């Protein structure tokens, strides 16, 4: 199930032109989720469009959405899909929070080769 959800969320972000998409394998690193998807956009509107597409595609595929935070401001949207948590940042916010460094012990997954 996680692989299908992960693929669905990744493709949705990619389809809306998310930039620098990074997928972290959080298994054994965090109890929050099995995977994090981290990406960014250059405007609040695009951040919202990416987050909306992730939610829409996950819902269409029958995956429950646990919660979504930050959509109104479009600076950092967190979409909790259960086993997968998607972080869609405005570029400035991504540089500031640097989740990839914070979770640096989590292995990266090359989704481009996995699709």
Q: What is the mean pLDDT of residues 32-40?
A: 95
Question: Residue 112 has what pLDDT?
Answer: 76
The domains located in the chain, with CATH, are 2-110 (3.30.460.10)
Question: Residue 90 has what pLDDT?
Answer: 97
pLDDT at 1 over 80: no
H helix runs in the chain, sequence order: 2-15, 44-60, 91-97, 99-102, 111-114
pLDDT band at 69 (very low <50, low <70, confident <90, very high): very high
Look up the pTM and report it: 0.93
For residue 22, the SS3 value is strand
């Amino acid at each position: 199930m996680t692989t299908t959800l992960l693929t669905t969320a990744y493709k949705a972000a990619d389809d809306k032109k998310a930039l620098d998409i990074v997928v972290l394998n959080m298994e054994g690193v965090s109890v929050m989720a099995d995977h994090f998807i981290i990406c960014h956009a250059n405007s609040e509107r695009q951040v919202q469009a990416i987050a909306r597409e992730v939610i829409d595609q996950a819902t269409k595929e029958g995956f429950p959405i646990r919660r979504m935070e930050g959509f109104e401001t479009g600076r950092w949207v967190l979409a909790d899909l259960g086993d997968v948590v998607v972080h869609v940042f405005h570029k400035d916010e991504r540089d500031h929070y640097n989740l990839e460094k914070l979770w640096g012990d989590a292995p990266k997954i090359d989704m481009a080769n996995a699709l």
